[in-house]
């Protein structure tokens, strides 16, 4: 019984790629049933891989280049005079989707002008690296360009406590030579 169905030719159907193949269930020829040509073909493919460039990076000796906008461990920046940029406004903590940031604000005393740029500063600033998802929203929220993500990797630890980074691990050094370079992130930040 003949049904009147208009069949679309297979080419007219939407295709996601041009790699699709029409499967044919034809019987294998004698040569194919020997499998030897196919095995030889397979051997040639593996042999070609023998001489290919290896994908392995010998880690401690060779280190892979990071993207300039890599989002790794945070840094709390200082300005050119070595004063902390952070004013403990708390916007980063509010922006943080993982609620990883907590801080305590304090007032700058007389004689501390060389340490903190503005009248208010964070006496405690902690980031829980286990909660942090390295999304970079803290950096986006910061009005003072004080917090940035860097290309450093948070190291492993045996205890959970070790992952709560305080100011001692977050604030960069006053030594001009030991400043953390955030040029890549800063560019991306200012571009937004």
Partner 1 sequence: MELNDLIFKIIFVIAVFAVSLLVAMYSTYAERKVAAFFQDRLGPNRAGPFGMLQPLADGIKMFMKEEIIPTNADKVLFVLGPSLAMMTACMTGVVIPWGSSLIIDGKEYVMQITDVNIGILYVFGVVSVGVYGIMIGGWASNNKFSLLGALRASSQMISYELAMGMSIVALVMMTGTLSVREIVESQPGGHWNVFVQPLGFLLFLICAFAETNRTPFDLPECETELVGGYHTEYSSMKLGFYLFAEYINMFISSAIIVCLFFGGYNFPFISELGLSHNMAAILGTVIFFAKVFFFIFFFMWIRWTIPRFRYDQLMRVGWKVLIPLAVVNIVLTAIYLMWKHDLWNTTLHVSQLNP
Instruction: With contacts defined by CB under 8 A, name the span among 17-25, 51-59, 94-102, 113-121 that binds partner 1.
Output: 51-59
Cα separation, 161 vs 18, in Å, equals: 53
8 Å CB contact between 146 and 84: yes
User: What residue has token string 């604030």?
Assistant: 171
Structure tokens at 175: 């030594």
Cβ proximity to partner 1, 31 vs 43, nearer residue:
43
3-state DSSP assignment of residue 45: helix
- Kindly state whether residue 50 participates in binding partner 1, applying the rule CB under 8 A: yes
- Kindly state whether residue 39 participates in binding partner 1, applying the rule CB under 8 A: yes
- Kindly state whether residue 31 participates in binding partner 1, applying the rule CB under 8 A: no
Among 5, 14, 45, 183, binds partner 1 (CB under 8 A): 45
Cβ proximity to partner 1, 5 vs 45, nearer residue:
45
Residues near partner 1 (CB under 8 A), total = 14
- Kindly state whether residue 130 participates in binding partner 1, applying the rule CB under 8 A: no
Among 56, 67, 161, 192, binds partner 1 (CB under 8 A): 56
Interface with partner 1 in residues 148-167 (CB under 8 A): none
Cα separation, 59 vs 111, in Å, equals: 47
Query: Phi then psi for 106, rounded to 5 degrees?
Result: -140, 160
8 Å CB contact between 117 and 84: yes
Pick from 113, 138, 140, 108: which is nearest to 126 by CA? Answer: 138
Among 3, 21, 53, 110, binds partner 1 (CB under 8 A): 53
DSSP 120: E
- Kindly state whether residue 49 participates in binding partner 1, applying the rule CB under 8 A: yes
Cα separation, 63 vs 80, in Å, equals: 31
Among 55, 63, 65, 168, binds partner 1 (CB under 8 A): 55
Interface with partner 1 in residues 57-76 (CB under 8 A): 58
Q: Give contact residues for partner 1 (rule: CB under 8 A).
A: 39, 42-43, 45-47, 49-50, 52-56, 58
């Amino acid at each position: 019984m003949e049904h009147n169905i208009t069949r679309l030719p297979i080419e007219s159907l939407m295709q996601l790629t041009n790699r699709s193949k029409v499967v044919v269930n034809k019987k294998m020829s004698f040569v194919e049933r020997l499998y030897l040509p196919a095995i030889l073909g397979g051997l040639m493919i593996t042999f070609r891989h023998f001489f290919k460039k290896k994908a392995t990076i010998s880690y401690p000796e060779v280190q892979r280049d990071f993207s300039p906008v890599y989002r790794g461990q945070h840094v709390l920046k200082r300005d050119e005079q070595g004063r902390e940029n952070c004013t403990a406004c708390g916007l980063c903590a509010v922006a943080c989707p993982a609620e990883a940031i907590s801080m305590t604000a304090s007032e700058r005393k007389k004689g501390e002008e060389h340490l903190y740029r503005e009248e208010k500063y964070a006496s405690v600033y902690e980031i829980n690296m286990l909660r942090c998802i390295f999304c970079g929203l803290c950096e986006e929220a910061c009005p003072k360009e004080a917090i940035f993500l860097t290309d450093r990797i948070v190291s492993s630890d045996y205890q959970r406590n070790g992952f709560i980074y305080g100011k001692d691990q977050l604030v960069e050094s006053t030594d001009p030579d030991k400043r953390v370079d955030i040029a890549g992130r800063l560019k991306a930040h200012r571009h937004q």
